[in-house]
Amino acid sequence: MVSLPHPIQYQGSKRKLASVILNFLPNKVERFLEPFAGTAAISIAVASKHISQSFWLNDINKPLIELLELIVERPEEIISAYSNIWNEQHHDSIKHYFEVRENFNQTNDPKLFLYLLARCVKGSVRYNSDGLFNQSPDKRRKGTQPDKMRKNIEGVSALLKDKCRFTSLDYREVLAEAKSSDFVYIDPPYQGVCGNRDSRYFSGINFDDFVLILEQLNQRGVAFAISYDGKRGTKTFGLPLPKELGLKKIEIEVGRSSQATLLGREEITIESLYLSPNILHGQSSELESYISKAARQPTLLEMYG
């Protein structure tokens, strides 16, 4: 796949996995739903392959969804705002970052958010207990150059303009409306390996509610795919999804840890993709044979990387 536009730097973005994930999705769908859209990396890839002409992008993070909407529907406005904010940093870039951050925490202005995301440590969104954005600036980088940002924003807008519905709801409200003619890509927040192994919550999401809503999707004949935590070395992340959901698990190798290699351990990180039973209905036998081949192939990225 040719390199896809990506204006928003975001920890957890599926941009690098998009071409592998797309291999497991249908060739045509009426409407593509992302209840945990983040940067909409998979919808951008789906649009580039003409798999769908209609999208519903939802994320509980309101400034993030407003930013996506600006990028898609009013690209010139956000391009010029980014360029102005970026150019203001020359005098004292770190001080400027903290001023923008403070301003964002008072206004939630999505234009300021794009600059913060471009400029903060690893595109990693962090909030304090009062809900204020508190991530620090990356001292080694100045953030994407305005020219490069322009190209990325124009690229995303060209793919998605006038095709999307944007909302900032809890994912359950979106899934409650999913129809059997839709396809849903579900990428919930990272569960991590630390903390209480028995916790039924991950980043505010109740695991039992999550499973219940997947059962309901199955019953209503809605096809979906879930990116779910995987494993690194011998450590497994995330509570296991119940067998009764009838999901097909695909393991995708996403990298090898250089730190572990230095210590003489071979640590491979695997992310799991779960395909719902309805995904194969109406699909070509090509996809079925691809899935059975892939299921036997532990290092997918070596095939497609």
**Least distance CB 8 / ligand SAM (angstroms):** 7
Q: Please identify, among the stretches 33-41, 242-250, 255-263, 276-284, the one whose residues bind ligand SAM according to the rule CB under 6 A.
A: 33-41
Question: Which residues are paired to 252 by β-bridges?
Answer: 271
| Pair 18, 215: CB distance under 8 Å | no
Q: Exposure of 149 by Cβ count < 10 A (0-12 exposed, 13-18 middle, 19+ buried)?
A: buried
Locate 278 and state its tokens: 């309805």
Q: Which is nearer to ligand SAM, 89 or 210 (CB)?
A: 210
By beta-carbon proximity to ligand SAM, the closer residue of 190 and 207 is 190
C-beta of 46 vs 112, nearer to ligand SAM: 46
Say how far residue 287 (Cα) sits from the centre of its chain.
23
Closest CB to ligand SAM among residues 13, 89: 13
- 10 near ligand SAM, judged by CB under 6 A: yes
- The sign one gets for the Cα dihedral 17, 124, 108, 145 is negative
User: What size, in residues, is the chain?
Assistant: 305
Pure H helices in the chain: 18-22, 41-48, 62-73, 75-87, 93-107, 110-119, 146-160, 171-176, 207-219, 258-262, 285-295, 300-304
Verify binding: residue 13, ligand SAM, rule CB under 6 A: yes
- The residue whose two tokens read 């351990």 is 265
CB of 301 to ligand SAM, least distance (A): 17
The smaller minimum CB distance to ligand SAM, of residues 38 and 143, is found at 38
- The interface with ligand SAM within residues 72-131 (CB under 6 A) comprises none
Burial (0-12, 13-18, 19+ Cβ within 10 Å), 219: exposed
The number of C-alpha atoms within 13 Å of 68 and in the hemisphere containing its C-beta is: 30
- Determine the Cα–Cα distance for residues 209 and 52; give it in Å rounded to an integer: 29
Piece of 100-108, 184-192, 260-268, 276-284 that binds ligand SAM (CB under 6 A): 184-192
The rounded distance, in Å, linking the Cα atoms of 186 and 173 is 13
What binding mask, one character per residue, do residues 193-222 give for ligand SAM by CB under 6 A, x or -?
----------xxx-----------------
Paired tokens of 128: 């304090």
What is the spatial distance between Cα 230 and Cα 270, in angstroms, rounded to a whole number? 5
CA gap 198, 26 in Å, rounded? 35
Query: Whole-angstrom Cα distance, residue 30 to residue 223?
Result: 12
Minimum Å distance from CB 173 to ligand SAM? 8
Residue of this chain nearest to ligand SAM (CB atom): 38
- Binding flags for ligand SAM, 43-82, as an x/- string (CB under 6 A): ----------------xxx---------------------
CB of 276 to ligand SAM, least distance (A): 17
Residue 68 vs 96, nearer CB to ligand SAM: 68
Supply the minimum distance, in Å, between the C-beta of residue 162 and ligand SAM: 22
**Binders of ligand SAM: how many residues, by CB under 6 A?**
21
Tell me: does residue 36 bind ligand SAM (CB under 6 A): yes
Q: Single out the residue of 182, 187, 251, 253 in contact with ligand SAM (rule: CB under 6 A).
A: 187
Q: Which residues bind ligand SAM (CB under 6 A)?
A: 10, 12-14, 35-36, 38-39, 41-42, 59-61, 170-171, 187, 189-190, 203-205
